[in-house]
Amino acid sequence: MIGESSMTKASYRLLVRELKLSYRHRQEVLNPLGFFVIVVTLFPLGISPDSEILRTIAPGIIWVAALLASMLSLDTLFKGDFEDGTLEQLVLSEHPLPLLVLVKVFAHWLVSGLPIILFSPLLGVSLQLPAEALQTLVITLLLGTPVLSLVGAIGMGLTVGLSKGGLLQSLLVLPLYIPVLIFAAGAVSGTMADLPIIGQIYILASILLLAISLAPIATSAALRISIG
């Protein structure tokens, strides 16, 4: 029987390992953030510099860019571990695989989702978002970006063993991303229209709790299938 302290130590060491690897491969970590910033900043040039138009479409622009940046970063989740054999050791470990998966996803969110949240207010200001909408944007990103990482981990687990699984991975996870996109962008737009948004926030929080509960289990099953 595995003790609680043993699982805690294993989780902590895995988290530290993931963060150190991310630091060593900073370019891979910065690419999704750079993509996010470039996509958002190019929209005013391609559509219109008019502040009213930008304010109207800003929630959708920022959330679509965040979604695509999250998908771009999924390759760093399991691919390297699969190639060097670490993933097989995690699957065969005495510790619960869903717990280890959850730690890896949390580390992935820290280096890919959190920077997007930190940069989003600056980009929101550039798109003429009011202060109240900026607050809602940050809240929706805090609730939604972990879901993107958790759901993306399922798709990555199913395709990690494929040499060209990027397209298949996108087809698997993109439909599951749509509810987050709709409710999150709708909450920001509702704030600007002075509409109640508590329903959207509760739904996003419920989706996050559901993803935390089920995604690590589904990802673990997918990894066992891919490796087996």
Token pair 């494929």 in the structure block, residue: 162
Cβ–Cβ under 8 Å, residues 32 and 112 = yes
Token output for 80:
């390297």
Residues 87-109 as b/e (b if ≥16 CB within 10 A, e otherwise) read beebbeeebbbbbbbbbbbbbbb
| Conformational region of residue 48, where left means phi above 0, alpha means psi within -120 to 50, and beta covers everything else | beta
Cβ–Cβ under 8 Å, residues 44 and 54 = yes
One pLDDT digit (tens) per residue for the chain, 228 residues:
455 677 788 888 888 888 888 778 777 778 888 999 998 988 888 777 777 888 888 899 999 999 999 888 888 788 877 877 788 888 888 888 899 999 999 999 998 899 999 999 999 988 888 999 999 999 999 999 999 999 999 988 888 877 666 677 778 888 899 999 999 999 999 999 889 999 999 999 999 999 999 999 999 998 888 776
Token pair 């739904």 in the structure block, residue: 203
Taking Cα atoms as reference points, which of 117, 114, 165, 147 lies closest to residue 216?
A: 147
Whole-structure pTM value? 0.90
